[in-house]
Amino acid sequence: MKDLHAEVWENCLKVIRDNLNYQSFKTWFAPIKPIKLENNILTIQVPSQFFYEWLEEHYITLLKKTIRNELGPTGRLEYSIVMEGSYANDPYTIKMPASNRKATNNPAVAMPIDLKNGNAKEIPNPFIIPGLKKIQVHSQLNESYSFDNFIEGDCNRLARSAGYAVACNPGKTAFNPLFIYSAVGLGKTHLSHAIGLQVKNSFPEKTVLYVATEQFIQQFIDAVRNNNQNDFLHFYQMIDVLIIDDIQWLSGKEKTQDVFFHIFNHLHQKGKQLVITSDKAPVELKGLEPRLLSRFKWGLAADLQVPDLETRIAILKKRIYKDGIAMPDDVLEYLAYSITTNVRELEGALISLMAQSSLNKKAITIELAKQMIDKFVKNTAREISIDFIQKIVCDYFGIPVDSINSKTRKRDIVQARQLAMYFSKKHTKSSLAAIGLVCGNKDHATVLHACRTVNNLIETDKQFRLYVEEIEKRIKF
Ligand code: ADP
Ligand code: MG
């Protein structure tokens, strides 16, 4: 017999299928998995946050209607977003074999046990699993972030091959810790998962753990609150390959740095592997203790650079191949050509394009890609800086940019300075004080005064208003 939730979802799908074209259905509904039906709430699993947002934005009415049809007026829908295809619901729980569970009233909930006195504790302790010879750790690895799916290019050759070497021989190479750093969206998280997956593949007996630094911090805070810091420490000291992502978040968190320092030392001494990622090279990290930074330099620090055009095309090709999508080569090349600095954005553009085409029932063409990129790039990529504004304003009046920072009270320069302040206030998130600082070392009151003056002039002086409109256009290209 079929589970009820599966049956309900299947009925919904029948209606949805009738209301959509084939491509949209296949793109947005086929990958959804029904998980459970409880209290008249149907939970469905979607592959990503993006997916969820897309469904909410575009199909909410249809979804609501079909759910109500099936479950009546109180019927509701909930999403479960997974990062990891194969594991169930909560990626942060550690899985216990059923036989080792202490029976509780609710057999679905494993009650954590306090090792020392053997009592069931009320506060969940996620770190220690009693009575097990071998700990079972949920590695938190995403299967799709494999080495196979990580395209090699000049931009990442060193980091990739060091990562591979580490994965084949964890703790035994000179690359310990392996420290991977880059700007956002260039593959740090992907590569660090790839290492973990590869280790698990080659050494199934090894305990691998991927943890985001924020998660590590939160776990530590909880451990302090629940007074089980030792369990926390022991848990981490048992790991064979510890991957800690975005270490820069430890900045300023002294207590957590301290405990991480101990974990690091313990693991390193025992020949366990550490993989650390960061948005900066160790020497550039701020707010981290020197003793920790010096350890980060023990192994190898390798960076990921922006991929060149060829690599970007290869990344897109791999991605559409994996997703089973067909897309003309010239469109792919156009995307790779237009989005240059961030692989995540590149993939975002690809997904958007697919979505556009399936929703509007348009074929994927260069024209569609162009329209989409125009919107996409304008919406996401460009952040206007004060520097940029100063340059536009000075260029407009034909004066050198440094004159804004000079002491001069010449009328045209004063005006340019005031305009730079006005536009900076309008187009950036900087505070008045911060704007004043970089526009001639003035205080916030001067900036405020400048903004008022410009506003007044816009209302009273036609010529001035034209200047402002012209500059405004240039700022927003
Ligand atoms: P970071 O952690 O540096 O911000 P991610 O690892 O999250 O970046 O990468 C962003 C996206 O780009 C991911 O979907 C990842 O799979 C993809 N990506 C980055 N580099 C590559 C590469 N060399 N080959 C294939 N995909 C890549
Ligand atoms: Mg990352």
Q: Is the CB of 189 under 6 A from ligand 1?
A: yes
pLDDT at 14: 92
Q: Is the CB of 266 under 6 A from ligand 1?
A: no
Dist. CA 356 → ligand 1 center (Å):
23
pLDDT for residue 90 is more than 70? no
Q: Write out the two tokens for 124.
A: 């969940």
pLDDT for residue 85 is more than 70? no
Q: Is the CB of 315 under 6 A from ligand 1?
A: yes
Which CATH superfamily hosts domain 140-303?
P-loop containing nucleotide triphosphate hydrolases (3.40.50.300)
Tell me: cis bond preceding 177? Omega within 30 of 0 counts.
yes
- Ligand minimally distant from the alpha carbon of residue 184: 1
Q: What ligand 1 atom has the least distance to the C-alpha of 304?
A: 3
- 153-170 confidence digits (pLDDT tens): 999 999 999 999 999 999
Whether CATH 1.10.8.60 fits 309-376: yes
**pLDDT cut 70: percent of the chain above it:** 86
- Ligand minimally distant from the alpha carbon of residue 248: 2
314 Cβ contact list (under 8 Å, min separation 6): 151, 153
pLDDT for residue 57 is more than 80? no
- Residue ranges, CATH 3.30.300.180, the chain: 4-124
Q: Which CATH topology does 4-124 take?
A: GMP Synthetase; Chain A, domain 3 (3.30.300)
- Ligand minimally distant from the alpha carbon of residue 342: 1
Dist. CA 421 → ligand 1 center (Å):
38
Query: How many angstroms separate the CA atoms of 129 and 148, rounded?
Result: 34
Query: How many angstroms separate the CA atoms of 209 and 240, rounded?
Result: 8
- Residue ranges, CATH 3.40.50.300, the chain: 140-303
- Residue ranges, CATH 1.10.1750.10, the chain: 386-476
343 Cβ contact list (under 8 Å, min separation 6): 185, 186, 187, 307, 312, 315
443 Cβ contact list (under 8 Å, min separation 6): 433, 436
The residues facing 37 across adjacent strands are: 42
pLDDT for residue 202 is more than 50? yes
Q: Is the CB of 142 under 6 A from ligand 1?
A: no
pLDDT for residue 196 is more than 80? yes
Q: Whose CA is nearest to atom 16 of ligand 1?
A: 190
Dist. CA 388 → ligand 2 center (Å):
28
Q: How is 330-380 classified by DSSP, letter by letter? A: HHHHHHHHH--S-HHHHHHHHHHHHHHHHHTT----HHHHHHHHHHHIIII
Dist. CA 64 → ligand 1 center (Å):
34
Dist. CA 18 → ligand 2 center (Å):
39
Task: Confirm if 302 and 159 have CB atoms less than 8 A apart.
Answer: yes
Q: Is the CB of 389 under 6 A from ligand 1?
A: no
Q: Whose CA is nearest to atom 23 of ligand 1?
A: 151
Mean pLDDT of the chain: 84
- Residue ranges, CATH 1.10.8.60, the chain: 309-376
Q: Write out the two tokens for 108.
A: 């679905």
Q: Is the CB of 182 under 6 A from ligand 1?
A: yes
- Go through the chain and tell me how many residues it has: 477
Q: Is the CB of 187 under 6 A from ligand 1?
A: yes
Q: How is 373-407 classified by DSSP, letter by letter? A: HHHHIIIII----HHHHHHHHHHHHT--GGGGGS-
User: Is the sign of the CA dihedral 98, 100, 102, 103 positive or negative?
Assistant: positive
Q: Is the CB of 350 under 6 A from ligand 1?
A: no
pLDDT for residue 433 is more than 90? no
**pLDDT cut 90: percent of the chain above it:** 56
- 306-340 confidence digits (pLDDT tens): 999 999 999 999 998 887 778 888 899 889 988 88
pLDDT at 71: 93
Q: How far apart are the first and last CA of the chain?
A: 62
Pairing of the two strands 41-46 and 33-38: antiparallel
Q: What ligand 1 atom has the least distance to the C-alpha of 151?
A: 24
Dist. CA 182 → ligand 2 center (Å):
9
Which phi and psi angles does 160 have, rounded to 5°? -65, -45
pLDDT for residue 119 is more than 80? no
Cα angle vertex 321, ends 315, 323, to 5°? 105
- Ligand minimally distant from the alpha carbon of residue 191: 1
- 43-56 confidence digits (pLDDT tens): 998 877 767 777 88
Dist. CA 344 → ligand 1 center (Å):
6
- 225-268 confidence digits (pLDDT tens): 999 999 999 999 999 999 999 999 999 999 999 999 999 999 99
- 440-450 confidence digits (pLDDT tens): 999 999 999 99
User: Is the sign of the CA dihedral 24, 26, 27, 30 positive or negative?
Assistant: positive
Dist. CA 341 → ligand 2 center (Å):
15
- 348-405 confidence digits (pLDDT tens): 889 888 888 877 778 888 888 888 887 766 554 456 788 889 999 999 999 999 899 8
Q: Is the CB of 198 under 6 A from ligand 1?
A: no
- 172-188 confidence digits (pLDDT tens): 999 999 999 999 999 99
Chain mean position to CA 250: 17
Which phi and psi angles does 205 have, rounded to 5°? -80, -10
- Ligand minimally distant from the alpha carbon of residue 244: 2
Q: Which CATH topology does 386-476 take?
A: Chromosomal Replication Initiator Protein Dnaa; Chain: A; (1.10.1750)
- Ligand minimally distant from the alpha carbon of residue 145: 1
Q: Is the CB of 192 under 6 A from ligand 1?
A: no
Q: Is the CB of 344 under 6 A from ligand 1?
A: yes
Q: Whose CA is nearest to atom 11 of ligand 1?
A: 344
